[in-house]
Structure formats: C-alpha cells, structure tokens
Amino acid sequence: MDKSTEKRIEERIGKELSKEIKEEVDQEVRREVKKEVTRKLSLELQKLHPKKIYEGTVSKTKRVRDEFKNQMAIAITAAFAFLIALSWRTPIEQLVNKLIEQLGLVGKEIFI
C-alpha cells in the first residue's frame, strides 16, 4: 500500500485497525504472488519433463535416420551411375573411333 492510502485509512479507523488491515492485505498479496509463481514454475517444469525430452529426442532421431537413408540411397544411385558410365566408356570410345575412320576424318578435320 502507498503512504497516502495508509494515512487515509488511519484517519478513518485508527492506527491499530489500520495496521491489521495492512498486514492482511500484505499476506493476501504474498499468497497471490506465491500462487502465480507456483503456477508458472509448474508450467516450466512440465515443459522440461523427462518424458517430453525423451519423446523429442526420439522424434529427432527418427528424422535423422530417415534423412540418412535418403542420402545413402542417393549416394548408392550415384555410385551405380558412375560405374555404368565407366563400363560404357570403352564401347562408346571404340564406336566413335570407328566412325571417324569410316568417314576418313584425320587431324584438324575431327574438330570441325
């Protein structure tokens, strides 16, 4: 309570009663503050509950596992594509060389 309110109460009902009222008001304010702090603390603790932490960890682990599987599939596909390209390199090279021979292209004519 502020000082002017206290003085007005003292003037109207006396010092003894004013003191009692002030103490009751202070106690009520403390109780309300305590309730509010307890409520907020309870909400924060619920957020940090071990079960929620566990569930969050499990869901993130599943996402990482799924992403890893995707990346591995892409890497294996790329490796097979590379091997296929290497295996076809020689036949394609031989075909192009044979074509060059049959067309009679030599020297700078190949680039034209």
Distance CA 56, CA 92 (A): 53
> b or e along 58-81 (b: 16 or more beta carbons within 10 Å of the residue's beta carbon)?
eeeeeeeeeeeeeeeeeeeeeeee
pTM of the model: 0.43
Q: What is the pLDDT of residue 32?
A: 87
Q: pLDDT tens digit string along 10-51?
A: 666 666 777 777 788 888 888 888 888 888 887 777 777 777
